[in-house]
Amino acid sequence: MATRDKTQVTALLEELPSFSKQNRGGIFLVIKGPDRGESVRLAEDNAVVYFGSSPACELTLSDKTVSRKHLMAELVGDEVIMRDNNSTNGTFIQGSRFKEITIGFGAEIKLGRTVIKYLPDEEVVEPEPSQQNSFGTLLGGDTKVRQLFQLLQDVAATDATVLIEGETGTGKELIAEEIHNHSHRRDGPFVVFDCGSVPRELIESMLFGHVKGSFTGAITDRKGAFAEAHGGTIFLDEIGEMALDLQPSLLRVLDKRAVKKVGSNTYEKIDVRVVAATNRDLRSEVGKKGFREDLYYRLAVIRVSVPPLRERGSDIPLLVNHFVRGFASGRELNVAPEDMARIQRHSWPGNVRELRNVIERACLLSRGNSINIDDALVEEAAPALGIRTDLPFKEAKGQLVEMFEREYIEDLIRRHKMNLSAAAREAQIDRKHLRELIRKYGLDPRRQDDN
């Protein structure tokens, strides 16, 4: 019999850990009604859960409009089946009454005046640091990085869907590739699909394929990225850029493990491992209704957060020497101690990618046996507005937007002396969004005073 979980369970952790995983099954949380906050866990050893006013139910509800054994949930394989037990007032999902239905994470079920929500059973993962300073082509001696290596080693052996979060330039695509290379799918294809670079009117065709004549220009049948990745891994880069109205199509593919080409009426089975990446805070996007909650849960079966380079400064000499060896073209090039100190002092907003580009230029511009860091690391001669033309367009644009946000919000809250309501009114933005920006850039002076 399933045991009632009295703890307050939330859909998303307030302080997001570096690594997390979803256990099989999930948690039913009462989000509306007299028993709000009560919850019960559905798991392999608690595969059947009853909801109702009877004390015999795993989740006993005090709602007078709920029948004694109103509803049951059963874990069958990886599916959760809900069955109404001939209740007096019925059970509803999205306003429709049902007798039996299969649900996914994020589903909200109404029984009487009570609403329960099905959420993943998330567990914080704290792996032991790997004994190695590398994982395939990835390098790092920092403790958090070596923890990442150990987790990747364990996860690669499974087919679990992985969500990689991290700033631009932290190596998310390399991580996805190494997951593939260390898996049993290593001999299959590794297909990269950048959700942020494909025009929205073409994204379904390029992801799922199309049949001849399905739209103007479709002169032949075409396989999509999912079909091309059959037997291997598909890497969905910049998943946070996918338009909200296109996300249900991706969710159906992840659930069914089958694709329907544009213009077709039939589904084709696919065998792929899905790895997704984003430089956005998808949890925040879910809260702002900018990303589907059920799709987030479906992607974040294993969730890893890649630390930025500024948080792993001890790794910089290791990475610098590795890049110098790679770009020296057979020459013996040295890094002077003062140059290494200067490199370590740099903030590296573009992370490892920026460091790699700078070292490549320093090697090409080398003088004698020393790399030329003076000409390679140009910190002062930036164009107007601080635009970085030495970075990819999207990355340079992102840095400029962040600089604008920080300076705008900092001046705004200073003038209004942290009166968020007045500041939000003047800026004509939502107060909650303003609070998120303040937290994002660490601009709350009260917290600084406490520290």
Report whether pLDDT(414) > 60: yes
pTM exceeds cut of 0.85: no
* pLDDT, averaged across the chain: 88
Per the structure block, which two tokens stand in for 428?
């004509």
What pLDDT was estimated at residue 388?
Answer: 67
Report the share of the chain in percent with pLDDT over 70.
92
Report whether pLDDT(6) > 50: no
Rounded CA separation 104/405 (Å): 36
Report whether pLDDT(137) > 60: yes
What average pLDDT does the segment 78-90 reach?
A: 95
Query: Among 194-198, 268-272, 331-335, 420-424, where is mean pLDDT lowest?
Result: 420-424
Query: pLDDT by residue (tens digit) across 30-68?
Result: 999 999 999 999 999 999 999 999 999 999 999 999 999
Report whether pLDDT(167) > 60: yes
Query: pLDDT by residue (tens digit) across 181-213?
Result: 999 999 999 999 999 888 888 898 999 988 887
Query: Among 11-15, 306-310, 329-333, where is mean pLDDT lowest?
Result: 11-15
What pLDDT was estimated at residue 1?
Answer: 42
Report whether pLDDT(435) > 60: yes
Q: How confident is the model at residue 379 (pLDDT cuts 50, 70, 90)?
A: low
In terms of Cα–Cα distance, which of 7, 26, 19, 2 is closest to 297?
Answer: 26
Report whether pLDDT(447) > 90: no
Give the list of residues 6+ apart from residue 182 with CB closer than 8 angstroms, or none.
135, 136, 152, 153, 156, 157
Rounded CA separation 314/137 (Å): 18
What pLDDT was estimated at residue 382?
Answer: 45
Per the structure block, which two tokens stand in for 350?
């573009």
Report whether pLDDT(9) > 50: no
Report whether pLDDT(367) > 90: no
What pLDDT was estimated at residue 445?
Answer: 57
Task: Decide if 396 contacts 388 (C-beta within 8 A).
Answer: yes
Cα torsion angle, 146, 148, 149, 153, sign: positive
In terms of Cα–Cα distance, which of 264, 263, 193 is closest to 226?
Answer: 193
What pLDDT was estimated at residue 15?
Answer: 56
In terms of Cα–Cα distance, which of 27, 26, 156 is closest to 78?
Answer: 26
Greater confidence, 84 or 435? 84
What pLDDT was estimated at residue 5?
Answer: 46
What average pLDDT does the segment 433-449 reach?
A: 71
Pairing assessment for the beta strands 91-93 and 302-305 based on DSSP bridges: unpaired
